[in-house]
Structure 1
Amino acid sequence: MMDWDKLRIFHAVADAGSLTAAGDTLHLSQSAVSRQIRALEESLNTTLFHRHARGLILTEQGELLFDATRSMNKRLEAAAARIRDSEEEVFGELKVTTTIGFGTLWLAPRLVKLYEKFPDLKIDLMLEERVLDLPMREADVAIRMKEPSQADLIRKRLMSVHMRLYASADYLEGRAPINEMDDLREHRLVCQNPGSAQVSASASLTQSLLSHDLHSLLTVNNYFGVLQAVNNHLGVGVLPNYVVEDFPNLVRVLPEVESAEVPVFLAYPEELRQSKRIAAFRDFVQEEIIAHRSKLRSSLVA
């Protein structure tokens, strides 16, 4: 059976790439760290590190062990989080991941309400198009623009999004009217670059719009940039319909044009089912979506 203490020291050395740095983290001398690594190598009858003047590099066997200790570390962090969550209060760190567009345009502006309710919460908001691995604890909870495929996740469908065409009222004033798709040739289209990371429904709509022999074009690699350009009267932008509520100066162009439906899901690992932090975040998002729908409905009636 492997010694837990030696594994902890090995993990710190592999993570830091140096005996000295690992010793500083663990509050141990370099010689004590070195002794423990040698003892672990002897017990496994293998070499875990190549020793170089510039530091330590993992051998193939070392990489295997580091994968195991990294996974073990994440499991221990998850267990610690669950233990902390058995308390009644909602506090501590919550790692939330979603796309750049949804995170900047919809989620971040609403977080003030969550903090008002739970001031001791520490949210780490990770905005990227890459899908983070929830079971491996790269994040605690995700809002994704398609249904998660992993089996060990709890998922809840939040809403549907469509990509539509919008322009500012100032941009449209005094310019050629847009009554059909071919009229876009007289305008600048602002959209995500077809090669950038985005949901397939958005990419399909963008591709069909670009086939109309446009004279002027601005492409950006995320929706936040598209929105900034449209708000500054640069042209007609392809944007998700959830932005309308927060930017009433936007006017929908060609109302019959929209992407296929994009489902929005909230997901978190099965092992965090009892988490008070997750429950607080999930309830907050659901309440905001209900309020968001209600505002959209009342604006349509008006």
Structure 2
Amino acid sequence: MDWDKLRIFHAVADAGSLTHAGDRLNLSQSAVSRQIRGLEESLNATLFHRHARGLILTEQGELLFDATRTMSKRLETASARIRDSEEGVFGELRVTTTTGFGTLWLAPRLAKLYEQYPNLKIDLMLEERVLDLPMREADVAIRMKEPSQADLIRKRLMTVQMRLYASRGYIDKTGWPETIEEISDHRLICQSLRSAQVGSASVLVQKLMTHNPKSLLTVNNYFGVLQGVLQDLGIGVLPDYVTEDFPDLVQVLPNEDTNGVPVYLAYPEELRHSQRVSAFRDFVQDEIITHRKHMKELGKI
């Protein structure tokens, strides 16, 4: 099968338009159309339905696009490995993690990584959806549970506790709750039970809700929960890694800690020798060691 035709087919399928694909490939629309026609003839199959708004893949086209997408990801991996320098760290590294961890812990520390490797480009993707690392949706993942995908190198980084926090200003106004039953005198700030979150946090929130909080503020990520707590709005359910950077937070009801949540770093086996991945992995591990040491000094672990 002609590689050039497959490359052009992939661009057309991805763009949904002969014109847009031609712009990407620096080819005329007629040249792109001829290549697609030739590919269809060689396969004796129709790959696109043509209509006024663009192109839609046929069933046969979908099968071929799945194959070219896999090929494209593999080529990207090979290209990344070739570009990795033994003497330096540069180029793009796509990192995925949860919105809470990425916003509250990782992003504030990236300045140190860029100081070490100024030519590195980080594409930080913050979402609860687990991206497919073997299919190169990302290069590295930091997740709140052990990855289940095959062919991944995984490293347990740390354990997170979900705890109850309030600001000193809020406690000064309302006083300390001594028992979980006293949550009925306070506003609870937490992630909605409909939001994607770690299981232990959900269990804690459900337990608190049985004691009828006086008021409730739900947010779909921990960054929003943190902002509510910092504004003296109530008692929030938050991961313990936020307290190092926000000394105004105080823990309340310490006996209501949850089970520990494991945090894992993972990347595809084929990126084992990537200098960029190694640099990022070592940076995160060093930052966690520093983080834990500082938390011990503060008496928070």
TM over 0.5: yes
Structure 2 matches for 1:1-302, cutoff 5 A? 2-300=1-299
Contact 1:176 1:186 (8 Å CA) reproduced: no
Distance 1:148 1:301, change over 3 A: closer
In structure 1, C-alpha distance between the alignment counterparts of 2:291 and 2:275, rounded to whole Å:
24
CA deviations over 1:194-216 (Å, ceiling 9, x no partner): 11000111111111111111220
Name the stretch that deviates more: 78-87 or 94-103: 78-87
In structure 1, C-alpha distance between the alignment counterparts of 2:50 and 2:194, rounded to whole Å:
42
Contact 1:177 1:183 (8 Å CA) reproduced: no
In structure 1, C-alpha distance between the alignment counterparts of 2:23 and 2:163, rounded to whole Å:
54
Return the offset for 1:301: 8.2
Contact 2:176 2:252 (8 Å CA) reproduced: no
In structure 2, C-alpha distance between the alignment counterparts of 1:249 and 1:38, rounded to whole Å:
66
Return the offset for 1:135: 0.5
For 1:135, what is the secondary structure of its paired residue?
Answer: coil
In structure 2, C-alpha distance between the alignment counterparts of 1:177 and 1:68, rounded to whole Å:
60
CA deviations over 1:235-286 (Å, ceiling 9, x no partner): 0000001111111101100111111110000000000000000110001001
Distance 1:38 1:294, change over 3 A: same
In structure 1, C-alpha distance between the alignment counterparts of 2:300 and 2:223, rounded to whole Å:
28
Contact 2:191 2:225 (8 Å CA) reproduced: yes
Structure 1: 4+ residue segments shifted above 4 A: none
In structure 1, C-alpha distance between the alignment counterparts of 2:111 and 2:30, rounded to whole Å:
49
Q: Partner amino acid for 1:134? A: L
CA deviations over 1:18-37 (Å, ceiling 9, x no partner): 11111111111111111111
In structure 1, C-alpha distance between the alignment counterparts of 2:19 and 2:174, rounded to whole Å:
67
For 2:206, what is the secondary structure of its paired residue?
Answer: helix
Q: Partner amino acid for 2:198? A: V
For structure 2, which runs of at least 5 residues remain unmatched after alignment? none
Contact 1:89 1:276 (8 Å CA) reproduced: yes
Return the offset for 1:40: 0.5
Return the offset for 1:97: 0.4
In structure 1, C-alpha distance between the alignment counterparts of 2:41 and 2:4, rounded to whole Å:
15
Distance 1:251 1:12, change over 3 A: same
For 1:256, what is the secondary structure of its paired residue?
Answer: helix
In structure 2, C-alpha distance between the alignment counterparts of 1:300 and 1:30, rounded to whole Å:
66
TM-score by length of 2: 0.98
Return the offset for 1:176: 3.9
Return the offset for 1:177: 3.0
For 1:171, what is the secondary structure of its paired residue?
Answer: helix
Q: How big is the alpha-carbon RMSD for the aligned residues of Structure 1 and Structure 2?
A: 1.2
Contact 1:162 1:258 (8 Å CA) reproduced: yes
% same residue? 73
Distance 1:171 1:261, change over 3 A: same
